[in-house]
Amino acid sequence: MKKSLLTLLCSILCLYSHAQSSALTTHDFFYAGESKAIRMYIVKNGQLTWSYNNPNWRGEISDAMLLTDGNVLLAHQFGIAEIDKDKNTLWHFDAPQGTEIHTIQPIGNNHVVFVQNGTPAKVRVMQIPECKIVHEFEIPASQNVHGQFRNARLSTRGTLLVCHMGQNYVAEYSVQGNELCRWNIPGPWSVSEVGKEHLLVVGKKGAVKELARDGKVVWELTNPALDISQAQKAVRLKNGNTIVNNWWSEWGTTPLDSLNTPVQAVEVDSKGQVVWTLNSWKNPDLGPSTTIQPLDQLVNRNRLFFGHFNGRWPNLMCEPNKPLGEGRGIHPGRVAWVHSPGVATWDGTTGLWVEDRWNSQDKADHMVVGAVKSVAGETNAGNAWKALFRNFNDSHNRGNRGYKKGESIAIKLNMNNAITHHDTIELNSSPFITLALVRSLVKDAKVRQQDIVVCEPSRAITDSIYNKIHREFPDVRFVDNIGGEGREKCEYYPEQIKYSVDNGKMARGIAKCVVDADYVINSALLKTHSGPGVTLTGKNWYGATDISLLWRQNAHNNVSQDKRNGKPAYKTFVDWISHPDLGGKCLLFLIDGTYGSRDVNGKPFPKWQKAPFNNEWACSLILSQDPLAADAVAMDMLINEWPEFGSMNYCDEYLLEAATIPNTNSGTQYLQNGKPLTRPLGLFEHCDKQGRYTKIDLQYIKLTP
């Protein structure tokens, strides 16, 4: 009987030993944890291949990461450090008296960023190896210093995601210290990005959730059979599974039960089912678990940036201050940039941004009038409009004359995010800028109401625009894609566009309201785009063609650039800019940046961080007679604010093509009516890092708040 029991016990021990070995062979990983010893490990192929123990440092390892260069960054409560693979300390920084540091991130080769618990609490950027603080800002914190913060992570947007553990939320900060977004999470311990749009958050009582940036729960761990009571971090594997650690406190009153040891980590699939567990408290004893980093997810310090620290800049076709092409307009290449702080004040969450309470019509009126006067070089708005019409007609061989009664003026909006007449939270043309433009046309330019057509052939004109203008100017016409409720349904002339190359199934019809107009004002938006990088006046012409309301049904040939290599190619935008019924009859190119946005879809977001905006909306209006100069200035504003936006690479290609006709970069011969174009379509230039141009005549006008 004794022999049988002994045999059974040996069998159990053998199975336990085998389970330990099998667990270690499942993943190769770097490991560290909050314990009484400063210790870290690397496990490869089931074997402990590297270990580190420093008895001289106080504290607990709350954060650690293995870098692609083989070094390890760690935060151990009372200090932060970097050690190399040979266990040499490259630098060490002691937390100031009365403070703690539980998290760290690298920023390139020369800086790190960390959150310093304390009174006050701070985010600090430090130059290494000198350990010199070069930038810092205070952030809100609870009173208990130890419980204020744990992990923080840099995002792919160059912002810092911080777990306010003591205040029950995760916040996103710009390098300027402005809070951009907040997600309410009970006791958040760690946060990391999943892709670019989701967050993986670990909070109190083992709560593990994947959130979309709008706060909606995409996935959460709900398996009640899992004994994960002290989760601190989670990591998303390349196969879609998730590893969650399970920390055990060495400071507890109950000693570790060697026969019933807690798991240190659990891998679960998307349904929460267990795929793998780690339980290694002996041979080797990995100790309590806080950090488990798969070795195929090493951190590349050179890819991390915080605002301008190791900041990203897109690859572009043209260098700064290398002007190309010929300026157009009364003052060739002139661009008016009117900045009016306070014209847009939406808080980002309450109601809709189009509501009157968030916008100043008076400021919008002054912006439009100021921009028109600046572009024309006149001190009086009426004279400015006369000069603009005369210049346009003279350059189109229609005589040196102004607007005539009965001539039609089409205002082409950008309502890309509207498919019904109902107002939406998504960014579209501003009702306030549109009304201001109509007001100035009627009151200053003396254009008859019935000669004005506000149109959006490919989408819907929402109620906030229609009602605001129709109430004041009942004879103004409205044309959109769906018609009804005071709007005319758009009709099209087919086969109006003959592309310079075989452009597949790209739309060829143009809206009748645009073709029949004597003048067009292209009213675009200031925002980026996942395809061509930016969506400004060049792309806004697409909405004047006979495309479907359902955008996925439309061809987008030769619209986007080669973002990886920048290989020169024909660009559709150039044919639109040069078309006699599109760019060819455009009186003014207007870019509405009262809000501006980093994303083509969704609500305006985020507020603009850099000078002169300083955590407010862009509150800007760009106006020019030159299509290339207008887009160049707006493009530079977007690049300067969000250089990390991946689709920005080579976004200037269409401007380069249009500015180098007839000898284009791609070698394309652009045609109109079957004849080669012989002159550039405008003036193109990038500004330098100080925002200066050498040939574009930028007129910056700041209106007093």
Q: pLDDT by residue (tens digit) across 574-611?
A: 999 999 999 999 999 999 999 999 989 999 999 999 99
18 vs 123, higher pLDDT = 123
Residue 355 CB neighbours (<10 A): 13
Q: Decide if pLDDT at 15 tops 50.
A: no
Are 583 and 492 contacting, i.e. CB atoms less than 8 angstroms apart?
no
Give the residue ranges of DSSP H helices in 423-571: 431-443, 463-472, 512-515, 537-540
Q: Is 110 exposed, middle or buried (0-12, 13-18, 19+ CB in 10 A)?
A: middle
Percentage of the chain beyond pLDDT 70 is 97
> Taking the alpha carbons of 666, 530, 599, 203 in that order, is the dihedral positive or negative?
negative
pLDDT band at residue 4 under the 50/70/90 scheme: very low
Give the dihedral of Cα atoms 422, 356, 348, 424; nearest 10 deg.
10
Residue type, 154: L
Query: Measured between alpha carbons, how far is 680 from 219 in angstroms, rounded to an integer?
Result: 53
Question: For the residues 348-360, what does the mean pLDDT come to?
Answer: 97
Quote the strand ranges of 567-656, DSSP E. Answer: 586-597, 620-624
pLDDT band at residue 16 under the 50/70/90 scheme: very low
Query: Measured between alpha carbons, how far is 212 from 320 in angstroms, rounded to an integer?
Result: 37
pLDDT band at residue 3 under the 50/70/90 scheme: very low
Q: Decide if pLDDT at 1 tops 80.
A: no
Question: For the residues 639-649, what does the mean pLDDT come to?
Answer: 93
Residue 130 CB neighbours (<10 A): 10
- Cα 547 to chain centroid distance, Å, stands at 27
DSSP labels, 169-232: EEEEE-TTS-EEEEEE-SS--EEEEETTTEEEEE-GGG-EEEEETTS-EEEE---TTS--SS--
Write b or e for each residue in 475-503: b if 16 or more Cβ atoms lie within 10 A of its Cβ, otherwise e: ebbbbbbbeeeebeebebeeebbebbbeb
Contacts of 257 (CB under 8 A, 6+ apart): none
pLDDT band at residue 9 under the 50/70/90 scheme: very low
Picking from 104, 105, 136, 106, the residue whose alpha carbon sits closest to that of residue 121 is 136
- Cα 555 to chain centroid distance, Å, stands at 25
Residue 229: the pLDDT is 80
CA atoms lying within 13 Å on the CB side of residue 452: 24
Are 468 and 435 contacting, i.e. CB atoms less than 8 angstroms apart?
yes
Question: For the residues 10-21, what does the mean pLDDT come to?
Answer: 36
Q: Decide if pLDDT at 227 tops 80.
A: no
Contacts of 120 (CB under 8 A, 6+ apart): 138, 141
Query: Measured between alpha carbons, how far is 277 from 291 in angstroms, rounded to an integer?
Result: 15
Query: Measured between alpha carbons, how far is 695 from 333 in angstroms, rounded to an integer?
Result: 7
Quote the strand ranges of 71-206, DSSP E. Answer: 72-75, 79-83, 89-94, 100-107, 111-117, 121-127, 132-139, 149-154, 160-164, 169-173, 179-184, 190-194, 198-202
CA atoms lying within 13 Å on the CB side of residue 63: 29
Query: Measured between alpha carbons, how far is 381 from 376 in angstroms, rounded to an integer?
Result: 9
pLDDT band at residue 51 under the 50/70/90 scheme: very high
Residue 196: the pLDDT is 86
**Averaged confidence pLDDT in the chain:** 94
Q: pLDDT by residue (tens digit) across 303-325?
A: 999 999 999 899 999 999 999 99
Residue 17 CB neighbours (<10 A): 12
71 vs 81, 85, 86, 109, 298, CA distance in Å? 10, 6, 9, 11, 10
Query: Measured between alpha carbons, how far is 683 from 266 in angstroms, rounded to an integer?
Result: 60
Q: Decide if pLDDT at 10 tops 90.
A: no
pLDDT band at residue 206 under the 50/70/90 scheme: confident
Q: Is 685 exposed, middle or buried (0-12, 13-18, 19+ CB in 10 A)?
A: buried
Question: For the residues 5-19, what does the mean pLDDT come to?
Answer: 36
Which two three-digit tokens encode residue 572?
A: 């559709």
Residue 226: the pLDDT is 78
Lowest mean pLDDT among 25-29, 91-95, 389-393: 25-29
Query: Measured between alpha carbons, how far is 542 from 361 in angstroms, rounded to an integer?
Result: 29
Residue 259: the pLDDT is 86
Residue 21: the pLDDT is 39
Query: Measured between alpha carbons, how far is 496 from 510 in angstroms, rounded to an integer?
Result: 6
Residue 20: the pLDDT is 40
Question: For the residues 671-694, what does the mean pLDDT come to?
Answer: 96
Question: For the residues 256-264, what does the mean pLDDT come to?
Answer: 90
Question: For the residues 442-468, what does the mean pLDDT come to?
Answer: 98
Residue 448: the pLDDT is 98
pLDDT band at residue 5 under the 50/70/90 scheme: very low
Helices then strands, each counted (H, E), the chain: 10, 40
Query: Measured between alpha carbons, how far is 225 from 161 in angstroms, rounded to an integer?
Result: 31
Query: Measured between alpha carbons, how far is 492 from 527 in angstroms, rounded to an integer?
Result: 28
CA atoms lying within 13 Å on the CB side of residue 666: 23
Query: Measured between alpha carbons, how far is 516 from 651 in angstroms, rounded to an integer?
Result: 32
Q: Is 283 exposed, middle or buried (0-12, 13-18, 19+ CB in 10 A)?
A: exposed
